Each structure stands twice: as C-alpha cells, then as structure tokens.
Structure 1
Amino acid sequence: MALRACGFIVFRRLCDSVPPPGNIEFLLLQTSYGEHHWTPPKGHVDPGEDDLTTALRETEEEAGLGSEHLQVVDDFAHELRYEVGGRPKEVLYWLAELRDPGTAVMLSNEHQEYRWVRLEEACMLAKYRDLQETLRAAQKHLEARQHQQ
C-alpha cells in the first residue's frame, strides 16, 4: 500500500494591477532534516482523516496558515506518484491563495526556512521534476483563470 500525503501549493498575489505571472509568488519550505529539500507544506494522512483535512492540518502545523488564512482554488488538484525507500508514495496537492499577502508564516521544527518565490525560482528550489511540473501547472491554471475574469 502506498504512503499518502496531502498538502497545498500556497500562493499569494502581490498586486492586483499586475497580471500573472508577475504578481504570483509560491510558498516553499526548506526541511530541517535529510537533504534540506524545498517543498510546499504537506504531510501524511492520519487514520480516519480525509485528504483535504490533512492538507489543512499540515499547512497549519508546518506554516502556521490555517483555513482562515487560505482560499482553496476549487478546480485544481495534482497528484504525484513516486518511490521513497522502495515504497510507493502518493502526494495530492491542492492550490490555495493566501487571503492577506502580508500574513506571517510560522515554521514548525520540521522546517528551517521559507521563501515566497516566483515560478522560475520555485522550480530551481524544488529539485524534483514532478514537483516542478506541478508548480508550472499551478501557474498555468492561475493565468488561465485570470484571463477568464
């Protein structure tokens, strides 16, 4: 059975008068363990917990951003599948906008640093190709939504 984790690709808009991609920054957290890789907030699903509840809980635990800080983008979800230590792992990411771009991030002890970065820097920090593709898909989705408005 695959390990399952869920999280949010959290983004903020810096200025409504500037169209995407220039006004969008993504939140990445640097782990305080292992290779100190960069990732959006995410974590393992607890027994009896649904995926969205896990994503909300983990984002609050890891970044101090609760449901009152986030607006979930209903029409975006991206699943990654890979192996960790020979075991299959699935990670489901939703997209969530930070309601107030000035809200402070409060890291847990699982992370040592955070950054708000535009897409290209996010992809440089996120070394894994599948995560880079997920970030690009999120950016593309946000740009398409902007054009529809």
Structure 2
Amino acid sequence: MEDDKRQYLLLHYPSGHFDFAKGHIEPGETETMTLMRETEEEAGIGDLKVFPKRTNIRYFYVAKGNEREKRLKDNKAIWIFKQVHFYPAQTEMRDIRISHEHIGSVWLPYEEALAKVTFDNAKRVLTEAEMYLRSQGK
C-alpha cells in the first residue's frame, strides 16, 4: 500500500480494456495455484497473500477473430460459456513486469480503479473485494 491506502492492480489489455490478471487453470492446479502462477506470468508478482473471499463470474461470449476461425474449423460452437473465479490478494511489490499479453498497468485506489475498469463484471469483482477487505479491517 502506498501511504497506507489500498491500491488495486489493473492490467491494460491490447483490446483497450482494463481488467485483472487472470487465466486458465492447468491440470493439477488448485484455484489458488492458478492465481499465483497467472499473477507471476502476467505481472511478475510472486509474493501474494491470497484472501479466502471468492467472487464467481459466469457469462457467455461469441468467439471472434482467430478463436472463431479455429472453433469453426474444429466444428465447435462459437458461443462460449466462461466461468471465472477471482480472489483478492495482497503484495508488497509495486514494480511489476507485464507480460506480452498486456500493453500497460496501473495501481489505483478503489474509487479510481472502479472508474477505470471497463466491464461491469470487473466492477462487481472490485466492489466485492473492497467490501470484503473493509469488513476484515484490511
């Protein structure tokens, strides 16, 4: 935290939106292991304290571009159901190393992060994390 004020890391994706680090669970991984691996891969952060609060997001989207072409070629549906689990986590690191998947990053306090995240689902995740951390006196 900077000046004892909680900040949230948002990653800038090439499509233009700001969101959290995330990724697919690998065989043999727990959700927490995936969170640790993806945060290390996408932001270079390896010292996470993960809190037990989980926010679940479920949605459908239509595959576009290369993903759409591959799914059509493989005779798969272009409507995709996605389920994502988010956990708040804490780190002392501020100097991050973004991966090739992102074009930038920013640390912001809650209100600014809420205005910056693009999607309603991300706003919900952020709000639930903030409410949980406040309730825990964090």
User: Is the aligned partner of 1:31 residue 2:13?
Assistant: yes
Letter aligned with residue 49 of structure 2: Q
Cα RMSD (Å):
1.6
- Offset of residue 37 of structure 1: 1.3
Structure (1 or 2) with the greater strand fraction: 1
User: Is the aligned partner of 1:49 residue 2:29?
Assistant: yes
Partner of 1:72: 50
Partner secondary structure for residue 125 of structure 2: helix
Partner secondary structure for residue 111 of structure 1: coil
- Offset of residue 14 of structure 1: 2.1
How far, CA to CA, are the matches of 1:14 and 1:30 in structure 2? 21
User: Is the aligned partner of 1:14 residue 2:2?
Assistant: yes
- Offset of residue 107 of structure 1: 0.4
Partner of 2:61: 84
Normalization by structure 2: what TM-score?
A: 0.81
Letter aligned with residue 14 of structure 1: E
2:95 aligns with one of 104, 128, 134: 104
Q: Unmatched 5+ residue regions in structure 1?
A: 1-12, 17-22
How far, CA to CA, are the matches of 1:27 and 1:103 in structure 2? 9
Q: Is the 8 A contact 2:32 2:50 kept in 1?
A: no
How far, CA to CA, are the matches of 2:26 and 2:9 in structure 1? 24
User: Is the aligned partner of 1:95 residue 2:73?
Assistant: no
| Greater gyration radius | 2
Structure (1 or 2) with the greater helix fraction: 2
Partner secondary structure for residue 95 of structure 2: coil
How far, CA to CA, are the matches of 1:49 and 1:25 in structure 2? 28
Partner secondary structure for residue 136 of structure 2: helix
Q: Unmatched 5+ residue regions in structure 2?
A: 63-78
